Structure 1
Amino acid sequence: MEQFRPVHVVQEDADLALALREGDEAAVRALYERFGGLVFTVANRMLKDRHRAEEVTQHVFLQAWRNAEQFEPGRDFAPWLATIARRAAIDVLRREQRRPAGSLEVADLADSALVTLPPSAEQIETVWSVRAAIEGLEPDEREIVKMQHIDGHTHAEIAERLDIAVGTVKSRSHRAHRRLANRLSHLGEPNS
């Protein structure tokens, strides 16, 4: 049996879907404000870990932004986002099954790295801006930036994996970082 939603809610979702399809970053923030709690709850129930659930939540909204054209206007965002959250949490669990984690019993409880605060809206916006800037790079530059900063590979390791010269890796990396610096220069500006 289909639930009836108020006309204004259906229209708000349709307007939000259209704004998402047009790449409107404000629409992503509005979507996060409306459904962030739901997405976090779905992820946290599956992962039983607040930090990993927060990471999945950020990932879900990035995926929603990237795949906005798949959302059908007039439908409810909640089930769509909950499905993305569930799939992302399953992906995390599968990755961890392949790579077992160490025991927390050997961790130093005084280590400041063990204490994390939830991300602020500004931090989430910064993460989205950086990810969008990286996705906007040329494919060969994007691959090198990801291998360098996300996977933690050195220039030599990247060159070996891609079967290209180290000098090529360095020049592509330099070009990519220059483009990223230009695209993200607004992040270093003080707020007015």
Structure 2
Amino acid sequence: MEQFRPPHEVQRDTELALAFRDGDEDAVRTMYERFGGLVFTVAHRILGDGQRAEDVTQHVFLQAWRHADHFDAGRDFAPWLATIARRAAIDALRKEQRRPTEAIDHADPSDSALVTLPPSAEQIETVWSVRTAIDSLDPNEREVIRLQHLQGHTHSEIAEQLGVAVGTVKSRSHRAHRRLATRLGHLRQDVDQ
């Protein structure tokens, strides 16, 4: 899934990739700061446990550092790291699940493992794109989006919580949605194809 990224971001990531491949400690730190949340999220979705996801996150960055010479400096880090994270989390899950099994008839029907597959690389990239777009909003707009979409508040409830007029909330929401539509337009195009 190809998406538009500003040239300065591509150049910054290319420089980071080259430094990372050369074993530069600052580049490793920068990689962890920028992409640690993504790797943790992927691992946590598969494992369902924060401590195990943190262990996998550490392992992923160690693996990435060991295999940095295989990374194409012109590509985006996020899908590469998400793929490593997904594989590492599945491996960790398999190691833990090596125990006697029972017939599927005895499984708890509400067990999410029976009905939910791990997210695909495309789903992970979509979530990462949306998260990045929201994080890039003005803090006031980002807060309105968070309260509206993640916590399910109405415009009136948001206005009361933030201590601003309802019209202010509506205008922030409108501006934020317009910016998000522009930044995430590539996702709509992918669905239409």
TM-score (norm 2): 0.50
TM-score (norm 1): 0.50
Higher relative contact order (CA 8 A, sep 6+): 2
